[in-house]
Structure formats: structure tokens, C-alpha cells
Structure 1
Amino acid sequence: MVAVARNADALDDLRTQMSANGGRIVTCAADVSDLAAVERIAVVAIEAFGGFDSWINNAGIGTYGTLDQVPAADHRRVFDVNYFGVLHGSLVAARHLRERGGGAIINIGSILGDRAIVQQGPYCATKHAVQALTDTVRMELEQDATGISVTLVKPAAIDTPFPEHARNFMDQPPRLPQPLYAPEVVADAVLFACAHRKRTLYAGGGGMLSSILSQAAPRLADRIMEAVGTRAQQKPNDRGDPSRRDNLYEPRTDALRGSQDVRVRRSSVMVQVQKVPRPAISIAILAGGAAALAWATRPKWRT
């Protein structure tokens, strides 16, 4: 594995832990908004392992606040990492995988690529852009019959320090709305996509329900978001840490998990359902429909 982050010290700790457990890992400190840095990642992988067959674009940053509160420079920075980072990674990965005759590119999007919310406008915009970019990359690679699969993973709210690391312009500390899922739920979906050709994988059923609602009743979803969206993303009883530093321009050196005192779901039935081959799902649906029809049309015996 090649692990990439801006924080070289954190990468060293990860390498030590994985090596102690028998893992084969090299690290590369890089900012994915820099194309040259992303190209260096591929060189590191080729030198260490002779290449790679799967590439995951995962880096992401964000802000909390209304669009008129977030400075244009910060808005652009979110796009530099969240969108251009994925673009850089996809182009570099595709170039190498074409030569190998196939492989997998997995882009981490978000449920907010389906449904925008208040207070996170720049982040939502980048995730909508990542969805369009992923579809375009997939079509271009399929058009050339490269054998490369391109998957978009859409996590729901995940128990990471995203709220602690985001640049906050609200008057209260931010939080993630429930339900909250463990990072392992996303990792499970990513590993599956490395070995199976899937277009989209939702990581967390709560996020998928939000997506369905926004598509079926967009105005209702808007009204709900306008009514509770800000409150659901704030911790009113937590004054926060005034010295807290975000990771918009520099890496943070703390925390792998979030700090919210709520139940975190360790698994997702939705992820497991999406792993089932489509024929099996179709059979299950048909069987369920047949059973329901049989029950509805059963003879009514008199007593």
C-alpha cells in the first residue's frame, strides 16, 4: 500500500504500525492540489511495488458557514483539494492503469453530491463536481475499452474529525448530523470496489434515504433543510476550543476519529446489500413480490 497525506509525521506513525503487523507500506507526503505532487505518488508506487492496480482519491477539506461568510480564497481552496485533487489523481492513475491493461479508480464523493445542505455550500459544490467528473472519467475510459473500472463511493456522515478540522464561520462549533457511521463502513465499500466493477456505492443507509427523498420530493427536502439544517450541524452546549486550528491550508496533527458523544454505527446493511450481484437482487425482489401476491390473493375461508 502507498499511504498519502500532507502530514509526514502521521504517515511515519502509520508505517510503523502497519509494518509491525506484517503490512507492506510506503508513504508519500503530498498535497493533492499539486499535480506534480500527485505524479510523484505514482512514481513512489512504481519504485516500491512495480506499480498499482487500484487508486483511491479520498482527500477532502471543508468549511462551515453561509456562502457570503466564506471568503472566495477559502472557497477556491476547497475546490483545489476536493475537486482538482480528484482530477489529478484520476488522470495520473488512468495513465498508469492503461499501460497495465486495467485496474480500479475509486473516488470518494459524498451524499452531499446528491443533496446540498446549508452551511456547507463550497463542500457540497465540490462533491457535485466530483460526481460529474467521475462519470466523465468512466465514460472516457470505457469508450477506449481500457478495462479500468471507475467507482464513486458516497459516504453518509462518518465519524471522522471533519467538523473539528473544517474552517468554521458559524457562531457555534460544528458537528455532523446523525446517523453517524464508522470509517470502516467506507473502507468496506472501497475494498469491495477495488475488486468488483461497481458504478456507485452508498456507504451508510441514512445517506441513501436522504438522496431518495431529495430526488422524490426536492422542495420538501429544501424545506426540511431550511428548518433544521443549521441546528443539526451545531453543538449549542459546546463552546469549543478558541485555539482550534483548521486544516484548510496546513495539515492537522491530531485525531483520527470524531469527538461527538453519540452512537456510531459500526456496519451498514446498505453496503452489504450493494455487494449482492444484481441477478440475486432481482430474484429476491421477484420472490418477495410473488409471495406478497400469493398472500393477497389467498382464498378467504369462512369459519
Structure 2
Amino acid sequence: MTSAKKRVVVVTGASAGLGRSIAQAFACEGASIGLFARNSERLEAARDEVERLGGKGLVLVGDVADPQRVEEAAAEVEREFGPIDVWVNNAMTSVFSPFNQMTPEEFRRVTEVTYLGAVHGTMAALKRMLPRDRGMVIQVGSALSDRSIPLQSAYCGAKHGMRGFTDSIRCELIHQKSRVHITMVQLPAMNTPQFDWVESRLPNRPQPVPPIYQPEVAADTIVWASHHRRREIYVGLPTLKAMWGNKVARGLLDLYLGLTGYKSQQTDEPERPDRPANLWQTVPGPYTAHGRFDARSKGFSAQVWLSEHKWALGALVAGGLAAGVAFSRARRRG
């Protein structure tokens, strides 16, 4: 892989929310970044941010649900910047709605963007990385890729699907003895603008299930993941609890979420009648990385820090234990 200062990165869903924060974080390393999303105005603003932070940006307007456009975008990035080193599949959409009120078209659209968008991005990336035998694909996952919640059946299904196909590809890369790496970063509730623009049938305004984290927490973890060959990374203690809790108490979590999951995804504010929705087309407006939950959001995760430093901490603990044993033996001899 090339040096961090010269890496070429593609980020889907880069015009706002977490994708915008991911682009900013890579820009701080001096990366050249292909910025892929539907909204050209916000992509231009994201490019300006990237270049102010020390990176280079390339605006790529398109829909990840269109595999031909994703392939064209990958080719554009390599013509402009050279070989792609890191591809981040971040683009998503959702519908806040009971399943029995959704239409087949809505369910299909969420699946095409959130799941098949990642499939299309992975295809375009591996087409280029496999012959070079280097590169990394990062899937932006969620605690919901393992532990589903009510009112987001299409999104939960898409994230489950992303995890399933990622595991399958990983096995194939191992079989091929490829040095290309694929990882999945599982996220908690994030303070992003999606809660102001995803399709919703809820009576009150949607919110992330607390506790909520700032997008920079996840973005910095994703950049860290791009330098390390971890199979999977959890961001935030809530993600860890959800993933492991689902392994041992699925039925209890079904009951708990059935009782609490509707209320926890809504604020006390009634929904606006003029609410925008980005399911079928992009929503205008100067949305950036953050949503409207700054006052309630955490800017640091001790769990992430421990995860990133676990080997060093393990070595430190082992060294301390060994020193303690040696000291105890020396005392006995003395």
C-alpha cells in the first residue's frame, strides 16, 4: 500500500452525515478522495472541506443503486488519482415505518441503496484491487446488522445482508491467498442528518436510539481500520452490548425492543407536515456531518480506544504479570 499521505480513497454517501465526516478524517491524512453521492451542491462543499484539510477531492455525482454509475465512478477516480487503496461503502437510506405500512417499492429501494449499493461498490473495488493484490474495502455496518429493531425492517435486513456477503467474500479472499482485506465497522446510534430526511410514517420526529455518538467517533475509527487488518470492529459500548447480548438473549431482546423500540426512536416533538424525504431523490439544503443532536451526543468512546489498543494493553498486562511473578520468586529465594 502507498503511504498514508498519498492514499486514494473512495467514500460513498459523502455529501453529508457520516460519509462527510469520513472524508474529512481521510483528508487530514492528505488522502485523495473520490466523493460519491447524489447531491452535487453538498459534494462541492465536501470537496472544499477536504482540500482545506490537506487532501484532494473529486466530486462523483451518482446513485450507488446504479452499478454502471458506480463502476464509472471507480474508473474516474483511478484516472484522476491513480489506483484506489481504500473503498468505504457508507451510503444508506431507510424508512421509519411499521412493516405492514410499507410498500414493496420502498422496501426494494432501501435494499438497493443500503445493501446492493455496498455490493456494487465492493465489486468495483475488487475488480481493481484483486489484480494488484492490495487494497482494502470497509463496510460501514451497524449494531443493527446483528440485532434488529422495530420500525426499520428494510434497513435492518440490508445491514444483515451486508454482513452476510462480507463474510462470504472474506472466505474467498482467504482461499485465493489474496492480500486484499475486507472489514466491517459496526456502529452505534450516530448524530447525522438522516433523521431529518429519511422517509418516515412516525407521528413524532425520529431520533437515534440513545446513547448517541458524534460522527467523528466513527469516522476516526474507520480511518484507523484502514491501517489495520481487523476482521470486524465495534464502535461504542452500546454496539458491543447489542451484538453480544443478541448472541445469548435474543428472545429477551425481542421482548424488550417490542416494548421500548417505538418510543426510543422518536422524540416528543410532533413530525412536521412538510418533512423532506430522500428515498427517491436527493433533498436540497446545506446539511453537513452533524445532525440536530449535538447536545446529547458523545464525542469519545472508551470502548473504541480499548479496542484499538488491546494488543498493547494485553502485552502491558502480560509484562506486568511476568514481572510480578519474577519478583515473587526472587523474594522467595531471598
Asked if these proteins are the same fold (TM beyond 0.5), I'd say yes
Shift, 1:20, TM fit? 3.4
Supply the distance in 2 between the matched residues of 1:113 and 1:24 (Cα, whole angstroms): 32
Q: Secondary structure, in 3 states, of the residue corresponding to 2:60?
A: strand
Contact 2:203 2:271 in 1 (8 A): no
Q: Deviations over 1:96-155 (max 9, x none)?
A: 011222111000111001101011111111111010011111111221122011100111
Supply the distance in 2 between the matched residues of 1:285 and 1:87 (Cα, whole angstroms): 41
Supply the distance in 1 between the matched residues of 2:284 and 2:215 (Cα, whole angstroms): 18
- Given candidates 39, 44, 49, the residue that maps to 2:76 is 44
The residue aligned with 2:152 is 120
Shift, 1:51, TM fit? 1.5
Alignment of 1:100-119 (within 5 A): 100-119=132-151
Q: Secondary structure, in 3 states, of the residue corresponding to 1:40?
A: helix
Whether 1:248 aligns to 2:314 is no
Whether 1:234 aligns to 2:262 is no
Shift, 1:17, TM fit? 2.7
The residue aligned with 2:171 is 139
The residue aligned with 2:107 is 75
- The structure-2 alpha-carbon separation of the partners of 1:286 and 1:33, relative to structure 1 and needing over 3 Å to count, comes to farther
The residue aligned with 1:33 is 65
| Letter in structure 1 aligned against 2:303 | M
Whether 1:8 aligns to 2:46 is no
Supply the distance in 1 between the matched residues of 2:221 and 2:49 (Cα, whole angstroms): 23
Supply the distance in 2 between the matched residues of 1:271 and 1:108 (Cα, whole angstroms): 15
Shift, 1:184, TM fit? 0.8
> Aligned pair count?
289
Q: Deviations over 1:235-292 (max 9, x none)?
A: 23x123211111111112332322136421101112222212547537638968x99x
Whether 1:273 aligns to 2:302 is no
- Unaligned 5+ residue runs, structure 2? 1-32, 325-334
Contact 1:55 1:93 in 2 (8 A): yes
The farther-off stretch of 4-13 and 170-179 is: 170-179
Supply the distance in 2 between the matched residues of 1:89 and 1:231 (Cα, whole angstroms): 35
Q: Secondary structure, in 3 states, of the residue corresponding to 2:226?
A: helix
The farther-off stretch of 58-67 and 16-25 is: 16-25
- Unaligned 5+ residue runs, structure 1? 292-303
TM-score by length of 1: 0.90
Q: Secondary structure, in 3 states, of the residue corresponding to 1:25?
A: strand
Contact 1:104 1:193 in 2 (8 A): no
User: How large is the RMSD of aligned CA atoms in angstroms?
Assistant: 2.0
Contact 1:61 1:81 in 2 (8 A): yes
| Letter in structure 2 aligned against 1:263 | R
| Letter in structure 1 aligned against 2:278 | N
The residue aligned with 1:203 is 235
Supply the distance in 2 between the matched residues of 1:21 and 1:217 (Cα, whole angstroms): 45
Supply the distance in 1 between the matched residues of 2:46 and 2:117 (Cα, whole angstroms): 22
Shift, 1:206, TM fit? 1.4
- The structure-2 alpha-carbon separation of the partners of 1:47 and 1:231, relative to structure 1 and needing over 3 Å to count, comes to same
